[in-house]
């Protein structure tokens, strides 16, 4: 009985350790994600750039079928691609990177000159009017499931169908 009493605590400790080890084994992989419906993209275009210009903007209207977020953008035409927001700060138009752009279900979100835009920075070559630029949008749904959409945006000097004078070109000295 004395021996039994000596061993018991050791056995208990081993059992506890084993229990801990078991708890640390990886959780089973999550169930396969259901297919995510595509985000509607309308009126997309990229502003043409001139030689020496470092950056330009891409614009479009996004309507998500369910609550989603635009989490990342990518284009082979630019070294860096970010979603930006442009806002008047007093008399100065300022721009900042937006880490995530929320897309409420069924509600159109406009990326347009003077507001949100996809910023193509460190352009590898000038973007000529009439050409097209591949841009990939990465979305995340409410469950965190990622999906992506590859677009080919026409390069233009103003929004397709717009009749007004071209908007003031954006300055991107920060980049
Ligand atoms: Cu910008």
| pLDDT per residue as tens digits for the range 33-64 | 445 679 999 999 999 999 999 999 999 999 99
How many angstroms separate the alpha carbon of residue 169 from the centre of ligand 1?
Answer: 11
How many angstroms separate the alpha carbon of residue 96 from the centre of ligand 1?
Answer: 7
Strand bridging mode 40-47 / 92-97: unpaired
pLDDT value at position 144? 93
Residue 92's contacts (CB-CB under 8 Å, 6 or more residues apart) are none
pLDDT value at position 35? 57
How many angstroms separate the alpha carbon of residue 172 from the centre of ligand 1?
Answer: 7
How many angstroms separate the alpha carbon of residue 7 from the centre of ligand 1?
Answer: 70
How many angstroms separate the alpha carbon of residue 28 from the centre of ligand 1?
Answer: 42
pLDDT value at position 171? 52
How many angstroms separate the alpha carbon of residue 128 from the centre of ligand 1?
Answer: 19
- CB of 174 within 8 A of CB of 95? yes
Burial zone of 162 (CB within 10 Å; 0-12 exposed, 13-18 middle, 19+ buried): middle
How many angstroms separate the alpha carbon of residue 161 from the centre of ligand 1?
Answer: 23
pLDDT value at position 19? 44
How many angstroms separate the alpha carbon of residue 174 from the centre of ligand 1?
Answer: 9
pLDDT value at position 13? 46
Residues of the chain with pLDDT under 70: 1-36, 163-175
How many angstroms separate the alpha carbon of residue 22 from the centre of ligand 1?
Answer: 50
**Assigned superfamily of 40-156:** PCu(A)C copper chaperone (2.60.40.1890)
How many angstroms separate the alpha carbon of residue 64 from the centre of ligand 1?
Answer: 23
How many angstroms separate the alpha carbon of residue 66 from the centre of ligand 1?
Answer: 27
Burial zone of 117 (CB within 10 Å; 0-12 exposed, 13-18 middle, 19+ buried): buried
């Amino acid at each position: 009985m004395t021996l039994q009493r000596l061993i018991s605590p050791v056995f208990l400790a081993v059992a506890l350790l084993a229990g801990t080890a078991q708890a640390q084994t990886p959780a089973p992989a999550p169930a396969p994600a259901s297919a995510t419906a595509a985000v509607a993209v309308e009126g997309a275009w990229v502003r043409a750039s001139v030689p020496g210009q470092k950056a330009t903007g891409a614009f479009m209207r996004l309507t998500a079928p369910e609550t989603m977020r635009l989490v990342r953008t990518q284009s082979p035409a630019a070294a860096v691609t970010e979603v930006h927001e442009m806002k008047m700060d007093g008399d100065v138009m300022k721009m900042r990177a937006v880490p995530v752009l929320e897309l409420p279900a069924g509600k159109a979100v406009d990326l347009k000159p003077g507001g949100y835009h996809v910023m193509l920075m460190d352009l590898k070559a000038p973007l000529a009017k009439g050409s097209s630029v591949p841009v990939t949008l990465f979305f995340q749904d409410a469950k965190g499931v990622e999906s992506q959409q590859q677009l080919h945006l026409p390069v233009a000097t103003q929004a397709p169908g717009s009749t007004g004078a071209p908007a003031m070109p954006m300055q991107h000295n920060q980049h």
